[in-house]
Amino acid sequence: MTSDFAGALASTRPDLSPLKHLDIDVFRRETPPIGRAGKIASWATAIVIVFVVLPELVLAFGPQFAAAEWIVSLGLAVPAIVAVAVLCLIRVDKKPVLNFGQALVKVEWGVVLFIAATMLVASAFSNPDTGLQQWMGYFFAPIFGGMSPIAIIAIACVGVIVVSQFMPNGLTMTVFWTIGSPLLLAYSGTDHLAAFGLAICIAAGMAVLTGPATLMTALVFEPGHITIPNSWKANLSFLAMSILAVLAFIPVITWVIPAGG
């Protein structure tokens, strides 16, 4: 296991020898400054990010803002679509800021389809009208209802780590919280709820096997320097250590956080 892990790390380690004699001043002189088109594209990206974050802030502060419902109703896709359309229409030096045809060629369609599939599943689980969360709670209650709180938390953490490789980690936490919290309430009241929530939050951050698992893995895998085939052994080793670390800290979390805290 140790040799496999070291070999996997060596295969994913980039060649950093050119950085040993890197002259930052020369690099700056040879790097052209960002042009007008780049500035426009940067501002458009920043605005899209604001509209992605804004709904959560609006929901957190309540619906007292006049445009709250309208902002939330936009969702995530509309701001991005509008930004793409605007960048295609704006011209700099008689050229569009974004050439839609060229951009389509560079899109990683495998990642897009994967994300689309996970978002479809996410909608089904997060929509209360489907009843999937309630059904899963009723289904798993007889199976895990007789277990100790620590065992329930441990199994949930392992499940979160596995499922978060293929589903958005926010949805994964929601699903496992919906299933696990009623079981813990029935067994020990509120004594372990805080520890349970913290443990599954930590476990959900261990998504490293697939490109679309998280935004960070997409940034790591998509440029092509590190790929899934040449890093899966190291990632599996990391996941195994992550599971052991989370499970080892469950008693500590339960002891540090007071009952009902």
Instruction: Please tell me the predicted confidence (pLDDT) of residue 260.
Output: 47
Q: How far apart are CA 36 and CA 95, in angstroms?
A: 12
Domain end (from 72, 107, 142) = 107
Same domain, 163 and 211: yes
Please report whether residue 17 resides in a domain.
no
Same domain, 59 and 132: no
H-only helix segments in the chain: 2-12, 24-30, 36-61, 68-74, 77-89, 100-106, 109-126, 132-144, 149-163, 169-188, 193-204, 215-221, 232-256
Same domain, 232 and 141: yes
Domain end (from 55, 79, 107) = 107
Residues spanned by the domain of 122: 108-261
Contact present, 92 and 37 (Cβ < 8 Å): yes
Same domain, 112 and 211: yes
Distance of CA 185 to the CA centre of its chain: 28
Q: How far apart are CA 74 and CA 54, in angstroms?
A: 11
Instruction: Please tell me the predicted confidence (pLDDT) of residue 135.
Output: 74
Please report whether residue 1 resides in a domain.
no
Please report whether residue 150 resides in a domain.
yes
Domain end (from 107, 122, 146) = 107
Please report whether residue 22 resides in a domain.
no
Instruction: Please tell me the predicted confidence (pLDDT) of residue 76.
Output: 73
Same domain, 224 and 113: yes
Contact present, 181 and 141 (Cβ < 8 Å): no
Same domain, 159 and 83: no
Paired strand residues for 224 = none
Mean pLDDT by 10 residues, the chain (261 residues): 51 62 75 84 88 71 65 78 91 88 78 69 69 70 72 85 78 77 71 80 81 66 68 81 82 63 47
Please report whether residue 16 resides in a domain.
no
Same domain, 123 and 246: yes
Instruction: Please tell me the predicted confidence (pLDDT) of residue 54.
Output: 75
pLDDT in tens, 238-255: 888 888 888 887 777 766
Q: Which helix (H) or strand (E) holds 95?
A: strand 95-96
**pTM metric for this prediction:** 0.52
Give residue 67's identity as a one-letter amino acid code: A
Residues 6+ apart with CB under 8 A from 77: none
Same domain, 48 and 72: yes
Please report whether residue 54 resides in a domain.
yes
Taken in order 39, 115, 60, 181, is the CA torsion positive or negative? Answer: negative
Please report whether residue 117 resides in a domain.
yes
Same domain, 75 and 131: no
Same domain, 240 and 179: yes
Same domain, 64 and 116: no
Number of domains in the chain: 2
Same domain, 94 and 159: no
Please report whether residue 8 resides in a domain.
no
